[in-house]
């Protein structure tokens, strides 16, 4: 096992769709990779929201990034989480515990009511409950947005997971070299209000709930559309 | 501004190389995107280490992932950090504070002493100081590893940063709608030792230092090679 090799271990491939959904729901930002019209690789970080068997993406219309992939081009959304650093007895065996998913397929453009609904779904993923607290999207705002869908089908995705302890395959493990894992956590800090607001304006329920749930919260949309 | 649009704001492009280096050094895992021989997009998460003007990557020889990009293929390494959720007065203006980098270029394979040195550099990034505590890489281990370099040149990279407050361009901001940011932090938890170890074996300096420094620590390699 090479140091922190995120791709090698074939036996780490997982086929449980629920595990894929969990990763996609926890990690709100992935990397969308595609091929430009002149055959070159292209990649950009992208917020995504899973709605059942469909992954929703969006970007500004005409601003460049999504224009290149909006016309049915094949894309890969790569999403990963690093859960721990794994410390072994030799440098070579050091690695990380991680989850890594790739979903491949053509991007389908959504318009009209489908686009409006998808933008609401994306908002619900970013800050659950916030839609009840602020003005919703206007038609002209939706029109200024490119909304894309990437469908999850039986054979369109790949999931790799590494969550093992260290050196499991050694016959004899040394007891004088410290080995183990160092878990990696994420959390939200305290909310910072805009400077023009009155000091007694309470933090709204959506922000309090999001902070309490933490970045790894899962949104509770169905697994079927 | 669309909800959490990570790509739209052209004015957010930055040209400060030191900012690029900071992001690359803080975010140890990026996504490597390339084009397969049959013209399809391909992407995989990858540990990386910056050594001056060179980004180092590695993977297992023959195991698939890196074979496709080892022959001088053009690739893009996309690295991002999400620093906060930004809550605005309308759903449409919600976004995130983020940093996003792309470095593009051909991948060059390193061999022999160069590969050995690069693997040491990668180890120093993952767990600084660990090399002094465990057995180093053997020649046969290095030979089983594909080590690649991606050079950072004046025009090979792009950096976009969003760190603004909300609604800055509004003439009149409402004072009865809570707006602001919710910062996102990362930290290491307590180390978990392998179950076979004696309880009095102390946690080594490398692990203690890494936990104290946190995931965003910057390794202190030079900015020039």
pLDDT at B9: 45
Name the token pair of A19: 């595990």
Q: HEC string of A143-179?
A: HCEEEEEEECCCCCEEEEEECCCCCCCCCCCCCCCCC
pLDDT at A195: 87
The minimum CA-CA distance between B126 and chain A, rounded to whole Å, is: 8
Instruction: Select from B157, B186, B146 the least CA-distant residue to B44.
Output: B146
- Inspect the interface and report whether the beta carbons of A197 and B181 lie closer than 8 Å: no
Q: Helix (H, G, I), strand (E, B), or coil: what is residue A223?
A: coil
Q: HEC string of chain B?
A: CCCCCCCCCHHHEECCHHHHHHHHHHCCEEEEEEECCCCCEEEEEEECEEECCEEEEEEECCCCHHHHHCCCCEEEEEEEEEEEEEECCEHHHCEEEEEEEEEEEECEEECHHHHHHHHHHHHHHHCCCHHHCCECCCHHHHHCEEEEEEECCCCCEEEEEECCCCCCCCCCCCCCCCCEEEEEEEEECCCEECCCCCCCCCCCHHHHHHHHHCCCCCCCCCCCC
- Inspect the interface and report whether the beta carbons of B100 and A45 lie closer than 8 Å: yes
Q: Best of A23, A32, A33, A217 to disrupt the B interface by mutation (most B CBs within 10 Å)? A: A33
Name the token pair of B187: 């930290």
- Inspect the interface and report whether the beta carbons of B184 and A180 lie closer than 8 Å: no
Is pLDDT above 60 for A1? no
**A157 interfacial to chain B (CB closer than 8 Å):** no
| DSSP-derived secondary structure letter, A22 | H
Q: What is the ipTM of this complex?
A: 0.89
CA distance A94 to A85: 8
Contact residues, chain A, for B3 at CB < 8 Å: 47, 58, 119, 122-123, 126
For B7, the closest of A7, A44, A74 (CB atoms) is: A44
pLDDT at A181: 93
- Taking only Cα atoms into account, the Rg of chain A, rounded to an integer number of angstroms, comes to 21
CA distance B30 to B55: 11
The whole-model pTM stands at 0.90
The average confidence (pLDDT) of chain A is 86
Instruction: Select from B122, B142, B129 the least CA-distant residue to B55.
Output: B122
pLDDT at B198: 93
Exposed / middle / buried, residue A54 (Cβ in 10 Å: 0-12, 13-18, 19+): middle
The minimum CA-CA distance between A225 and chain B, rounded to whole Å, is: 22
- Inspect the interface and report whether the beta carbons of A196 and B173 lie closer than 8 Å: yes
The answer for A 55-94 residues in CB contact with B (under 8 A) is 58-60, 63-66, 74-76, 78, 80, 82, 85, 87-92, 94
- Inspect the interface and report whether the beta carbons of A137 and B184 lie closer than 8 Å: no
pLDDT at B175: 84
CA distance A162 to A82: 9
- Inspect the interface and report whether the beta carbons of B42 and A76 lie closer than 8 Å: yes
CB A178 within 8 A of CB B193: yes
The minimum CA-CA distance between B15 and chain A, rounded to whole Å, is: 18
For A215, the closest of B144, B177, B184 (CB atoms) is: B184
- Inspect the interface and report whether the beta carbons of B64 and A203 lie closer than 8 Å: no
- Inspect the interface and report whether the beta carbons of B6 and A75 lie closer than 8 Å: no
Contact residues, chain A, for B131 at CB < 8 Å: 91
pLDDT in tens, B123-161: 999 999 999 999 999 998 899 899 999 999 999 999 999
pLDDT in tens, A16-36: 999 999 999 999 899 999 998
Residues 6+ apart with CB under 8 A from A62: none
Q: What percent of chain A has pLDDT over 70?
A: 83
pLDDT in tens, A47-63: 999 999 999 999 876 55
CA distance A150 to B92: 22
For residue A114, name the pLDDT band (cuts at 50, 70, 90). very high
| DSSP-derived secondary structure letter, A202 | P
pLDDT at B173: 76
pLDDT in tens, A161-187: 988 776 555 667 788 999 999 999 999
pLDDT at A38: 85
Give the residue on A whose Cα is nearest the Cα of B210.
A182
Give the residue on A whose Cα is nearest the Cα of B39.
A39
CA distance A67 to A145: 11
pLDDT at B174: 82
pLDDT at B79: 97
Positions of chain B with pLDDT lower than 50, given as ranges? 1-11, 220-225
For A180, the closest of B191, B210, B215 (CB atoms) is: B191
| Cα end-to-end span (Å), chain A | 40
Instruction: Select from A105, A49, A76 the least CA-distant residue to B4.
Output: A49
């Amino acid at each position: 096992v090479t140091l922190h090799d995120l791709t090698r271990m074939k036996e780490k491939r997982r086929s449980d769709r629920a595990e894929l959904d969990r990763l996609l729901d926890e990690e709100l930002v992935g990397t969308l990779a595609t091929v430009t019209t002149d055959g070159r690789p292209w990649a950009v970080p992208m917020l995504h929201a899973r709605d059942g068997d469909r992954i929703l993406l969006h970007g500004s219309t005409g601003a460049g990034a999504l224009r290149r992939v909006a016309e049915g081009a094949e894309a890969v959304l790569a999403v990963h989480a690093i859960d721990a650093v794994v410390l072994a007895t030799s440098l070579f065996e050091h690695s990380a515990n991680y989850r890594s998913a790739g979903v491949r397929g053509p991007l389908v453009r959504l318009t009209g009511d489908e686009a409006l609904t998808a933008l609401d779904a994306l908002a619900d993923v970013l800050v659950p409950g916030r839609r009840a607290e602020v003005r919703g999207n206007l038609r002209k705002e939706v029109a200024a947005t490119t909304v894309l869908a990437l469908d999850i089908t039986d054979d369109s995705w790949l999931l790799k997971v590494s969550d093992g302890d260290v050196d499991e395959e050694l016959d004899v493990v040394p007891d004088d070299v410290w080995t183990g894992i160092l878990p990696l956590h994420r959390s939200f800090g305290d909310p910072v209000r805009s400077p023009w607001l009155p000091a007694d304006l309470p933090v709204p329920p959506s922000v309090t709930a999001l902070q309490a749930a933490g970045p790894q919260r899962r949104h509770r949309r169905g697994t079927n559309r």
